[in-house]
Amino acid sequence: MGDNRHAPVIAIDGPSASGKGTVARLVADKLGFHFLDSGALYRLVALAALQSKTNLDDTLSIEHITMKINGKFCSGEVWLEGARVTEAIRNEEVSAAASRVAALPGVRQALLQRQRAFRRPPGLVADGRDMGSTVFPDAELKIFLTASPEERARRRYKQLMEKGMRASMITLLQEMRERDARDSARAVAPLQKCEDAIELDTTGLPVEAVVSKLLVLYAKAQKAP
């Protein structure tokens, strides 16, 4: 366990559909690093709550679910209590519920150690909202990725269409704005750029350009004293 705390971390935070997930995965691949999709943990809690018909305002029950949850990530697939839920955690109902459970301090606290357990040699790329501020404050490189709400809604629309899911651009844009507002306004670990993070606006930028930029920034961060 001891050495794991020193494995380098690249923290990539930002609003939903800012391209974080795709970029973080590719950077992890290029460097041969582990990858943490922290949003998927909140999505698992949300899905478990919805499946058990737990009221999302019932804080104690949601915290209980979080502590007991049996989720697994393996080769790009996500499992909940032995069932494959890779696509199920991405639907809009789960997205909205994930944003609500993520506002609960007890849920965030319960997921803290689980997230830190992903830190292992040779390194970790962590994707989320509070990777640089709370989960890995000592990360070697902290990136805050943004894109305009319209561009993010377009990206989400494209993702859903590719998966054969139905969506409306207007609804997506509206939901994205609501989720941004909730994620930014919550009392615990709100979505915000931390002081030592580098902000990168990806509007109109191809994924490969963002990945290359991050690799250069990481190389520079390693050389810095």
Residue 98 near ligand DC by CB under 6 A = yes
Residue 14 near ligand DC by CB under 6 A = no
Token pair listed for 167: 């969506």
Selected from 33, 35, 42, 144, the binder of ligand DC by CB under 6 A is 42
Selected from 141, 143, 179, 214, the binder of ligand DC by CB under 6 A is 179
Residue 63 near ligand DC by CB under 6 A = no
Number of residues that bind ligand DC (CB under 6 A): 13
Question: Closest Cα to residue 12, out of 204, 184, 199, 155?
Answer: 199
Q: Which residue is nearest to ligand DC (CB)?
A: 39
Residue 142 near ligand DC by CB under 6 A = no
Selected from 11, 12, 35, 43, the binder of ligand DC by CB under 6 A is 43
116 and 6 in contact (C-beta within 8 Å)?
no
Within 8 A by CB and 6+ apart from 141, the residues are 9, 10, 11, 198, 214, 217, 218, 221
| Bond prior to 122 in cis (omega within 30° of 0) | yes
**C-beta of 136: minimal distance to ligand DC in Å?**
10
How far apart are the C-alpha atoms of 135 and 79, rounded to whole Å?
23
Binding positions for ligand DC, rule: CB under 6 A: 16, 38-39, 42-43, 98-99, 102, 128-130, 179, 183
